[in-house]
Amino acid sequence: MRKSLPLLVTLGVAALTGPVVIGTGAAAATAPTPRVLQRSVDVAAATAARTGATRTTDSARYLPSSVECTAGPASGAGVNLKLDCDSVLPNNEPDVNVDPANPRHLVASSNDYDSNGDEFYTSVNGGRTWTTGDMSLESSARIGSDPVTTFDVRHHTVIHTSLNFLITEQGEAKDGDLVVSLSTDGGISWGKPVVVADGVGQDSSPLNIFNDKQWMVTDNNPRSPYYGRTYLTWTAFFARNGNYTKSPIFSAHSDDGGRSWTTPQEISGASSACTLQVSGPRGRCDENQFSVPTIGRDGTLYVAFENGNVGRIQERGETAGGADDAYLVVKSTNGGRTFGAPVMAAGLEDGRRDYPTNVSGRQTLTGFQLRVNSAGNIVANPKTGQLAIVFSDNRAGLHDVARPTTNTNVYMVTSYDGVHWTGATPVATGAGDQWFPWVDANPVTGQFGVLYNNQRGTGTYDVRLATGRPGTFREDRVSTANSLANDSAFFQAGAPGCEKCTVFNGDYIRVAYGSDGKANMVWTDMRRTVRLGDTTGHGEFIVFARQ
C-alpha cells in the first residue's frame, strides 16, 4: 500500500467563513466557497530522529491544556456516548487507554479540528462521565494530530504523544515534531509538551524530515526488568528536494514518566528479503509505516510495522512505492537498547492495483471516497503470552487489475516468540468491507477482541467487536446506529455523484481492555447531522462504548 503521508489541517473558527486546508495525498481536489474548502496537499514529507542530548521542556515556548466541558452521563452498559461536547467541528483518529491500577480510570484522545490540536477525554467512573479539553500544542502556529495516550503506574503519570507540525503559506507541511505531554492528576490537566524528535523542514533546506504515525506503550509489569519504561516508535519520512527517499521506523524510551527521552534510533533494520527500493541500498527495510509496540510478559519489546521492501511477495506490475506490504516484526530483549533483524509475519494484498483511488489519489473502498489503509496493530496477550497482529486487505476482492473492487476482510496472525508466525486466519468477513481493525487481549479470559468498521451499504458503516481466538471469533455490533460517510459536512470529495462523500474520517479506531475484563471502545461516528454555514451533512464525532 502506498505510504500514508500526514493529514495536514488548518481548521478553526475561520473555517466557518473561510478555507480549510487539508492534505490527504497526492492529487488536489477543491470544493467552491462558501462550502468548507478541501485541498489535498502534495507533501513529500519525512521524519527522523534528532541527534544530540535528551531534550526537556522550554517553558517559554509551549501552551498549557484547558478543560472545556463534560460529556455524559451514560445511562448504562453498552450505551453509545458522544464524547465531543465542544463544537460541531470534526474529531477523528480516537485512542483510549485504561489505568492498569484502576479499570474505571480511562483516558481517550482524538484529533480536534476545533483547536487544531488534540482533544482529551478523561473518566474516573468507567466511562459514565468524561472531562474533556484541549491539549498538546507546541505553539498556536502548529497543528497537532495522531494522538496516543498511555499510563505509567510506576511514575504516577499519564503520557500523551502527538505529532506537531507547521503549515506553509502554500499549504504544505513542514517541521513535523513528535511531542509528549504529561499529566500528574490522572488526565485532567496536562503539562507543556516535551519534544522527543525534531522535524526538519526549513524553506531553504533540500532535506525534509517529517515524524508521523507514532505509537506508545508502557511496561507496567512490576516483575519486568524494565518496569516503568515507556517506549515510543514512529515513522521517519525523509524527502530530498521534494522527493520521497525512505521511511524507516525509529524508537526512543523514557524511564522517568515521560519527562526525558533517549536519543532516537532507527530500528527497522535490514534483511535479505528487502530487495525492492525506491532509493538507497538493497537490503534495507526502510519503506515503512504504522509501527506499534507491545510488551511481552518477560519484558521483551516487540514492534510491528508495514513494509514495502519485500520483493518476493510482489506480483507482476508492482514496483517500489506502490507494492504490496508485508507486516514485519522486530524485537528487543534488552529494553529497547538493540533490536534483532526484522521477521516477516504476513504478506498483504494492498498494493497500488489492489484498491480503487479517491479524488485525492488515495486508496479507498468501492462505493466510498474515504481514504483507507490496511494496517492494524500488534498486542501481547498478558494471560497466555501469545502475540497477535491484525490487518485488513483485499485478497478476497478483485485485485491486481486496473479497476479493483474491494471486499476487504480482517485477518489475524499469531506467534509465541515473534519469529515464527501462523498463516492468516479470518477474523471478520462479510458481504461488504471491513477495515480499521484494532486488537487487544482480555486479561481475564485470555481471549482477543478486535474492533473494526463494517460496511452496511454504499457509503455506510457500523462498528463491530469480534471476540475469541483464531478460528472461533464471535461478532457483536457495538454501534447502535449506522454512520453515513457519503453524506458528510466535512472533507467533501466533490466528485460527480459523490459530492458530499468524505475523503477522511481518520486512520484508526481503538479498543482497550481493563483489568476487570471490560472492553472500552472508541471510534469516529457519523450518525449525527450537523450544519456548518450553508452546508448540512453528517459530522465526525468520537463515540465511546463499554461492554
Structural contact between residues 147 and 109, judged by C-beta atoms closer than 8 angstroms? yes
Mean pLDDT of 125-131: 97
pLDDT attached to residue 385: 97
Where does residue 128 rank: exposed (0-12), middle (13-18), buried (19+ CB within 10 A)?
middle
Question: What is the model's pLDDT at position 203?
Answer: 59
The CA distance from 517 to 265, in Å, is 35
Pairwise CA distance, residues 514 & 496, whole Å: 46
pLDDT at residue 141, rounded to an integer = 87
Q: What integer pLDDT is reported at residue 29 of this predicted model?
A: 24
The residue type at 206: P
pLDDT given for residue 316 in this prediction: 77
Q: Judging by DSSP bridges, how do beta strands 541-546 and 81-82 pair with one another? A: antiparallel
Is the pLDDT assigned to residue 329 strictly greater than 50? yes
Distance CA 70, CA 202 (A): 40
Q: Which of 301, 299, 287, 208 is nearest to 249 (CA)?
A: 287
- pLDDT, greater one: 171 or 222: 222
Residue 448, strand partner residues: 441, 468
Q: In one letter, which amino acid is 79?
A: V
CA distances to 121, 155, 253, 471, 505 from 227, in Å: 26, 10, 12, 34, 36
pLDDT at residue 113, rounded to an integer: 95
Asked whether the predicted pLDDT for residue 12 surpasses 60, the reply is no
Locate 34 and state its grid cell: 462558501
- Give pLDDT, residue 171: 75
Give the separation between CA 198 and CA 145, rounded to whole angstroms.
15
342 preceded by a cis bond (ω within 30 of 0): no
The confidence score (pLDDT) of residue 161 equals 97
- For the ranges 1-5, 168-172, 390-394, the lowest mean pLDDT is seen at 1-5
Per-residue pLDDT, averaged over 179-202, amounts to 92
**How many C-alpha atoms does 323 have within 13 Å on its Cβ side?**
26
What is the C-alpha separation between 56 and 16, in angstroms, rounded? Answer: 37
Q: Report whether pLDDT(118) > 90.
A: yes
Cα-to-chain-centroid distance, residue 439: 13
pLDDT of residue 47: 22
- The pTM score is 0.90
* Confidence check: pLDDT of 57 > 80: no
Can you say whether the dihedral through the CA atoms of 518, 86, 95, 346 is positive or negative?
A: positive
Q: What is the pLDDT of residues 226-264, one digit of tens each?
A: 999 999 999 999 999 889 999 999 999 999 999 999 999
**pLDDT-derived band of residue 56, with 50, 70 and 90 as boundaries?**
very low
Among 354, 352, 356, 360, smallest CA distance to 495 is for: 360
CA within 13 Å, CB half, 54: 11
pLDDT at 206: 84
* Residue (of 137, 218, 229, 133) closest to 177 by Cα position: 137
Average pLDDT over residues 157-181: 90
pLDDT tens digit string along 464-498?
999 999 999 999 999 999 999 999 999 999 999 99
Residue 35 has pLDDT above 80, yes or no: no
User: What is the rounded distance in angstroms from the CA atom of residue 162 to the CA atom of residue 63?
Assistant: 14
Residues in the chain: 547
Q: Round to whole Å and give the CA distance between 244 and 263.
A: 24
Contact between residue 256 and residue 295 where contact means Cβ atoms under 8 Å apart: no
**Cα separations in angstroms, 415 against 11, 243, 272, 420, 472:** 43, 37, 22, 6, 17
Say if residues 416 and 487 touch (Cβ distance below 8 Å).
no
Q: Cα 463 to chain center, whole Å?
A: 17
Greater pLDDT, 206 or 144: 144
Residue 275 — pLDDT band, cuts 50, 70, 90?
Answer: very high
Q: Averaged over 204-218, what is the pLDDT? A: 90
Distances in whole angstroms, Cα of residue 358 to Cα of each of 2, 43, 89, 362, 428: 13, 17, 23, 5, 25
Q: What is the pLDDT of residues 98-112, one digit of tens each?
A: 999 999 999 999 999
Residues ≥6 apart with Cβ < 8 Å to 486: 367, 368, 369, 458, 459, 460, 498, 500, 501, 502
Backbone angles phi, psi at 14, to 5 degrees: -60, -20
Q: Are 506 and 92 in contact (CB under 8 A)?
A: yes
pLDDT digits (tens, 9 = 90+) for 398-434: 999 999 999 999 999 999 999 999 999 999 987 899 9
Provide the Cα torsion 540, 196, 103, 64; round to 10°: -70
Q: Over the chain, what is the mean pLDDT?
A: 87
The pLDDT score that the predictor gives to residue 172 is 76
Please tell me the predicted confidence (pLDDT) of residue 251: 98
Strand partners, 309: none
Q: How far apart are CA 289 and CA 269, in angstroms?
A: 14
Position 40 pLDDT exceeds 90: no
Q: Give mean pLDDT, residues 38-60.
A: 26
